[in-house]
Amino acid sequence: MISSNINRIRESIRVKCEQSGRDPEEVKLIAVSKTKPVSEILDAFENGIIHFGENKAQELRDKNETINKEVSWHFVGHLQKNKAKYVVKAAEYFHGLDSIALAVEISKRAKQEGKIQKVLLEIKTSDEESKFGLEDKSEIIDLLTYCKNDEYLDSIGLMTMAPYTDDESRIRKSFRSLRMLKNELNDLGFTLRELSMGMTSDYLLAIEEGATMVRIGTGIFGSRNY
């Protein structure tokens, strides 16, 4: 099942990129493996997936210690400062930076690990109360400026979650606003490259709007048992 799901997702990404005038190589496919066993992660790895996403710090730590493969871990959840040590030790990418206080902690841990941590700012692009992320433009600029001046942080892009809705126009508006924000920030002198947006239900819309990272969980691994 995992193999056929991966092939189907890859083909849909290829087709959508061609329709949108984009190179499929621009889009990283992140298999969101949260709650899934190591055996299924290894199955996906054997089928060519190297980017995996987790949203619980201890689960990421445990899987990283268990899996002896050249995988790139992405932490895609909300992170508490006291758990940053687990994420920085394991993850190449952190998709949820939303405060200078958290940036300070991640930088401290990255220095201890002797690495430069790739981070994406989490931006709230919908009005849903359950969503995390920055909304104020000045706060976003301040946080990017802090990262730019910190030798252990590399702010590579922006991340968002679209609203849970069947209204395609609202979803597209969320993704488009993130792309426009990225362009606006780069005009101010930042060098953001990545747009992490789109999940199983809406990744094709995200690709149309410029996503460079799509986070696919159920589309690869099937539904989750929480």
User: The pTM is what?
Assistant: 0.96
pLDDT at 217 over 90: yes
Bigger pLDDT: 83 vs 224? 83
Distance (Å, whole) CA 206 – CA 198 = 5
CATH 3.20.20.10 is held by the domain 2-217: yes
Residues 195, 204: Cα–Cα separation, whole Å: 14
pLDDT band at 128 (very low <50, low <70, confident <90, very high): low
Both tokens of 90, joined, read 């394991």
Tens digits of per-residue pLDDT, 74-118?
Answer: 999 899 999 999 999 999 999 999 999 999 999 999 999 999 999
CA atoms within 13 A on the CB side of 119: 34
